[in-house]
A and B are shown apart, each in its own frame.
Chain A
Amino acid sequence: AQKVTQAQTEISVVEKEDVTLDCVYETRDTTYYLFWYKQPPSGELVFLIRRNSFDEQNEISGRYSWNFQKSTSSFNFTITASQVVDSAVYFCALSNSNSGYALNFGKGTSLLVTP
C-alpha cells in the first residue's frame, strides 16, 4: 500500500520568509515517482515537479527547491523569500506503474503568505 503524509495542515508566514512544506511517503515499491502540485484559489492543479525514486539529486527552480531523501522517505518543498502569490494549497503525491501511474495524494498543506 502507498501512503503520503503531509503533517502540516495550514502554514501562515509573512512575505519574504522562507517556508518548508513537509512530505513523507510510504511504499513497498523500489521504483516510484514523487510529485508536487500547487492549487491556487482558482482551483486548478498546477504541476511543479516530478522526481524518480532512483534520482535523489535535489532540485532548485528559482525560489523553489526540493529535498528528496530516500533514507527518511521524505520529499520536502522549500519556498525561499515567499510572496503573496505563493498562497495556495500544495499537494505531494506518489505514483508507480502498478496502478497505471495514478496519483496517490497527501491531504495538502494550505500556505498563506501575508504582506
Chain B
Amino acid sequence: GAGVSQSPSNKVTEKGKDVELRCDPISGHTALYWYRQSLGQGLEFLIYFQGNSAPDKSGLPSDRFSAERTGGSVSTLTIQRTQQEDSAVYLCASSLVGKRGGLGTDTQYFGPGTRLTVL
C-alpha cells in the first residue's frame, strides 16, 4: 500500500516569505508527527496530532510555526516569515494509533521529507 507522502520534495524560498509543507499519512493512521532534521540539531520533534487534535505544541521552535490537520488525514505545517535557520529537512511520520492500542501500533513510518532552503 501507499506510504507517507510529503510535498513538495524541495522548497527554496526567500527570507521573510511564508511556506506550507504538506503531509499525507498512511491511510487509516490516526496519529501524525512532524520532525525536523538539521545538521546542527539532529532529529527534533515538532508536533503531533491524534486525530485532528494537537495535544502538545511545545516542540514548535517559535510562534512562526503552526500546523493543522483536517479530516484526520492530511496535515499542513506552515512557517511564517521564514528565517535562514529554518532551513532543514522536515519529516512527517504516521502511526496507527497514538494511544496504547496494542503492540506495535505506535510504530511510526516516515515520509521522504521536504528539504526547505531559505535564502
Question: Which residues from chain A sit less than 8 Å from chain B, CB to CB?
Answer: 33, 35, 37, 43-47, 50, 52, 91, 95, 97, 99-108
Contact = CB atoms under 8 A, between A and B. Distances in A.
Given A45-B93, A100-B56, A101-B95, 10 more contacts: A43-B89, A46-B110, A50-B104, A97-B99, A99-B48, A100-B48, A101-B106, A103-B35, A103-B108, A105-B43
Contact of B103 (A52, A95, A101, A104): A52
Contacts, number: 59
Contacts of A47: 107-110
B77 to A, nearest CB: 15
Contact of A45 (B42, B104, B110): B110
A64 to B, nearest CB: 16
A101 B33 CA distance: 9
Nearest to B9: A43
Count chain B CB atoms within 10 A of each CB in A43, A95, A100 and give the residue with the most. A100
B61 interface: no
A99 B59 CA distance: 11
Interface residues of B, number: 28
Contact of A100 (B43, B98, B104, B110): B98
Given A47-B107, A50-B107, A100 B91 contact: no
Contacts of B31: 100-101
Interface in B33-59: 33, 35, 42-43, 45, 48, 50, 55-56, 59
